[in-house]
Chains A and B, each alone.
Chain A
């Protein structure tokens, strides 16, 4: 029984809920390999992708997910600043709700925007990333990809490397991975490790090479190059010397270690190009599974209201 109204984050998702989502995604994955990639599960449903922050891959992934389930998907690029047209976030959401969408998918550059919208509208909200807060669908597709490759999640060690402070992917992954019984290590320069994150049940360190030997999954994060201007970095060169995943570092890792990156990758800064193409890299599998996971979420959120479809 799936009773969640919104998917705002992974913090409030139980082990059972996550398992249901991943199992459902498993069954949907095959649809994308058919010659006719469409099922009628959400026919007659309207899904609005409300993107206040520019995005290509996440928006496309949601759009394809909705269309493969036969929903009508509308993409809207909201103003990136609420004051642009004198209409605020809530006004925009209420206007769209007045047209009776069945799901709104919201992405915003500022933390809390999706939650704020969910407090004012009745239709389900899927958070497609809000500021540095959460990006639950990314974490779920990561879990899906790990489970698919390793068979189960319980007891696995993951090392997440890079700009922890400015990553919504990290926060969503910490909650979801802890819930699923994984051990999470965070690695990055101390300027990019936010205050108090150790209280979230993770271990924190600065030395990439020192922790890699027992890790099952390495997740590299994207470095926003503009962070240098806020004194967080000396240079991209030094960052890369310390935290780029190279074949030299990888020699110290387990043979079956998996390599993840939420994309888009700064080649040669976070991961050296040869490793990106190696069979241990599941970066493109993550993208493929993203569609299945998003299909599963849309289906589950509208399930029960839609007994006659399917």
Chain B
């Protein structure tokens, strides 16, 4: 069980590494990282070899925001298919949101998810538990029990905590556990019935808008509460210009606020909704060009800490309907890397920064033992060819669901090997 990854460009932000190296993996652990050609073996030892010439070798990617739909909505995705989709996209660790059925608001559900992940999942799965029982926004969940069972953060994702008093208490209560609260920031009374960003395009298309202010107001509220109570806030899928500014201000005050952006929010604008493709319907919605530019600036200056997909599988029956009736969300795991690499071409981020926002920074924020190539760590490693061009083909997705607006896009950055504990878990398709 020995493997050598040869001649790759090894990028490991934690160890400040970006140069050609060979990596020795033994019994699933990273044993050595040496200059090319300098790893030697005992006579008779026959390691398997991956020639990574022309490729980037980096820590396996981490996605802190996915929906694997199990238990409850297995027709959209399961932990098995979700993990396969993640591996196909280069991810070796994901955090699953609690809006399953039953909701992940009790130890039993958290343990069930972890048990399924152990037996059927091919990558690492971290459960995020609910802030409130049944996501109803009325009573706090049993956070102590959930943490002990393995929850790594709390969120009512998709059902933002509207009640101000409850959110304040959630910040206070969660301080005991030192786990972040993840908010899907949306004032629901401002977005009721809405299905796309409010602006000229929604007016032309006759679709009810979801104003960016719905996001901004809740981001501001949460920061204001946090400043009083302490605790930690992680803003999910930030999408608006003013929200980026609010997070930037909060960080400059030294508040423990972090945020993520989904690839579609730096790749597309609300112009993509023309034609009523329901695969452009997500929450928060695709915003205006000014917002996309602000997102890119936030990525550049570090206001936006990480990239997370909000992988939201929906069966075609939930999407092949009138735009207003379609479910929110798109699958993201198998398109995240090439879309993020476009930021390198656009000179928004360096290759190392993109990898950092997909590996070590999420690991830091959520305190995961992952996201770097330090010796002795489990060998969760991604090998991809950054210059290989290919067309995104949704029919080849490993996810059960194919709801992506990027079908047919020509992109660069092909995942070649996704190793978890040294074992390639990329299934061919």
Contacts and interface: CB of A to CB of B under 8 A. Distances in A.
B204 interface: yes
A82 B325 contact: yes
Contacts of B115: none
- Which among B206, B207, B208 has the highest number of chain A CB atoms within 10 Å? B206
B317 A112 contact: no
A88 interface: yes
- Which among A81, A89, A110, A134 has the highest number of chain B CB atoms within 10 Å? A110
A151 interface: no
A111 B325 contact: no
A199 B203 CA distance: 10
A88 B275 contact: no
Contacts of B211: 195
Given A88-B317, A112-B276, A115-B275, A196 B324 contact: no
Interface stretch (A125-133, A212-220, A270-278): A125-133
A111 B276 CA distance: 9
Given A88-B317, A195-B200, A116 B322 contact: yes
B198 interface: yes
A112 B200 contact: no
The size bracket of the interface on B is 20 to 34
Contacts of A199: 200
B204 A171 contact: yes
Contacts, number: 74
Interface in A101-121: 108, 110-113, 115-116
A18 B204 CA distance: 20
Interface in B295-344: 317, 320-325
A112 B207 contact: yes
A232 interface: no
A187 B320 CA distance: 37
B275 A131 contact: no
Nearest to A194: B203
B216 to A, nearest CB: 15
Contacts of B275: 115
- Which among B200, B317, B322, B324 has the highest number of chain A CB atoms within 10 Å? B322
Interface residues of A, number: 28
B320 A200 contact: no
B321 A195 contact: no
A89 B322 contact: yes
Contacts of B202: 194-196
Given A115-B276, A133-B205, A168-B206, A110 B325 contact: yes
Interface string B188-220: 000000000011111111111101000000000
Nearest to A174: B204
A90 interface: yes
B199 A111 contact: no
Nearest to A165: B203
A196 B200 contact: yes
B322 A195 contact: no
A197 interface: yes
Given A115-B276, A195-B198, A195-B199, A88 B206 contact: no
A83 interface: yes
A82 B321 contact: yes
Interface in A42-95: 81-83, 88-90
B322 A196 contact: no
Given A88-B317, A110-B322, A115-B275, A195 B206 contact: no
Q: Which 8 A-B pairs have the closest CB atoms?
A: A196-B200, A132-B206, A133-B206, A112-B276, A111-B206, A110-B322, A194-B203, A112-B323
Interface of B: 198-209, 211, 275-276, 317, 320-325
13 contacts: A82-B321, A88-B321, A108-B322, A110-B322, A110-B325, A112-B207, A112-B276, A116-B322, A131-B206, A131-B207, A132-B206, A168-B206, A197-B203
Given A111-B323, A132-B206, 7 more contacts: A110-B323, A111-B324, A112-B322, A112-B323, A131-B206, A132-B208, A200-B203
